[in-house]
Amino acid sequence: MSGNIQQVIETFKHLSLVDKIDQLFVMLKQLVLACVPEALQPLVSGLLSVVLVLSVFPGVFAIITVIERKGLGRIQNRYGPNRVGIPFTNIRLCGFGQFIPDGIKSLTKEDVVPYAADQVVHFLAPIVMLIPVLLAYAVLPFGRNMTVTDFDAGLLFFFAVGGAVEVSVFMAGWSSRNKYSLLGAMRAIAQMVSYEIPLILSAVTVVMIVGSLKLTDVVAAQNHYSFGVAHWFVFTPWGFVGFILFFIAALAESNRCPFDLPEAESEIIAGYFTEYSGFKFALFFLGEYLGMFAIIGLGVTLFLGGWISPVSFLAWIPSYVWFLAKMIAIVFVFIWIRGTLPRLRMDQLMNFAWKFMLPLALVNIVVAGIWHFMSHDWQRWLVCAAIIFGAYLVLGRGLMRNQKLGKRTYRFAE
């Protein structure tokens, strides 16, 4: 067994210091695996990867909930939580310890289940939501050589488990025997199904250009630099539009503002969450945020180069740090949008998905094909950008024409 450890150390000895820090987790995992007998190695390897994912992302979730409340507070001209730092001490830490009492509160609250509710389905809904969301992290490349399982059809796996979340939304809404819950669940499912199509179509452009559904291949295709800048797909016309479409569809898939009609407090109490309290509500909350991180992670992998640094002189920063930094930057933009934009009505939402985003995604696919087959010089930039801009104008004007917006009138109480 010590021979195995020697072998592992040999393979990593010749790396430079930068590469050693970059491959730190891979090295640690190989070291632990070398101490384990042959038969148990696949099991332990899987367990180690699962432990890493399960410890990092809920930790990020905890910090992001505090950042969201503070960020929304500042946008709305007030402080967010700023009292709780380290519990049982007077150290404030600007309120970043808020997730500890939040967690304790949700664990100790009474778990109220309605008498007429369907007990088994009501109990299973949060679990059925959490399992596909956690499965989705299995195919994301967090760093160089740091994917949990590298499926040949990795992208298809991600979208398949994304579709399984809708079943849990229906289970939660229907089993509560509450008209608000059922209505909220139906709206949420309709919204998720409508926005899944632009999401998948904008990912299809990347698949067309890369030629593979493997996410590590997608990152490797973006891994070269010209003039010091990396070849992220977002820097191409079709990639830019694809990223924006993916971003908006990701907002809708995670039920975030401006697409949070199914769960907004002023609209429908809490939608399909209404009859859930205590730990089950915490599980739904966790599942929703983890789903948001997973889909942002996929967007980062497909369009923003995954773990690749944007400029070549910053490539010494470890790859997993880049991935997390990009992911958290997009989460900040999500929080910013939540604090800024008003909510869309259901019919506005559906019109936007079917009449604007879907045609634009189809035009984007055609443009990606043109980009691939034209000669590699400045003309293809012009042609592709012109086609996309023209399609955007036509679709945008087309949508606006149907709105007969009258003059704004004011009514005052007598």
Partner 1 sequence: MSLPFLIIAFMTVFAAAAAMSLRNLVHCALAFVVAFAGLAAMYLQLDAQFVGFAQILVYVGAIAILIVFAILLTRSGDTPNKAVLAPGWVCGIAVSAVVFTLLGWAVLNSSALPEQTPPAPVATVKDIGGLLMTKYVLPLEIIGLLLTAAMIGAVIIALKEPSPTENSGRKT
Binding site for partner 1 (CB under 8 A): 121, 151-153, 156-157, 159-164, 166-167, 170-171, 174, 182, 186, 189, 193, 196, 211-213
Q: How far is the CB of 125 from partner 1 (least distance, A)?
A: 10
- Residue 12 or 159: the one with the smaller Cβ distance to partner 1 is 159
Which residue, 146 or 213, is less far from partner 1 as judged by CB? 213
- State in angstroms the smallest separation of the CB of 159 from partner 1: 6
Contacts of 156 (CB under 8 A, 6+ apart): 213
Smaller CB distance to partner 1: residue 95 or 369?
369
Nearer to partner 1, 23 or 274 (CB): 274
Beta carbon nearer to partner 1, 186 or 325: 186
Alpha-carbon span 196 to 339, nearest angstrom: 24
Helix/strand/coil (H, E, C) string of the chain? CHHHHHHHHHHHHCCCHHHHHHCHHHHHHHHHHHCCCHHHHHHHHHHHHHHHHHHHHHHHHHHHHHHHHHHHHHHCCCCCCCCCCCCCCCCCHHHCCCHHHHHHHHHHCCCCCCCCCCHHHHHHHHHHHHHHHHHHHHHCECCCCCECCCCCCHHHHHHHHHHCHHHHHHHHHHHCCCHHHHHHHHHHHHHHHHHHHHHHHHHHHHHHHHCCCCHHHHHHCCCCEECCEECCHHHCHHHHHHHHHHHHHHHHHCCCCCCCHHHCHHHHCCHHHCCCCCHHHHHHHHHHHHHHHHHHHHHHHHHCCCCCCCEHHHCCCCHHHHHHHHHHHHHHHHHHHHHHCCCCCHHHHHHHHHHHHHHHHHHHHHHHHHHHHCCCCHHHHHHHHHHHHHHHHHHHHHHHHCCCCCCCCCCCCC
Taking the complex as a whole, the smallest distance from the CB of residue 367 to partner 1 amounts, in Å, to 21
Nearer to partner 1, 84 or 219 (CB): 219
CB of 240 to partner 1, least distance (A): 26
Residue 191: CB minimum distance to partner 1, A: 12
Nearest distance in Å: CB 166, partner 1: 6
Nearer to partner 1 by Cβ, of 213 and 251: the residue is 213
Nearer to partner 1, 157 or 276 (CB): 157
Smallest gap from residue 189 Cβ to partner 1 (A): 6
Residue closer to partner 1, measured from CB, 43 or 160: 160
Minimum distance between the CB of residue 153 and partner 1, rounded to whole angstroms?
5
Instruction: Measure CA 136 to chain center.
Output: 10
- Shortest separation between residue 175's beta carbon and partner 1, angstroms: 9
Sequence-distant (6+) residues with CB within 8 A of 256 are 292, 334, 337, 338
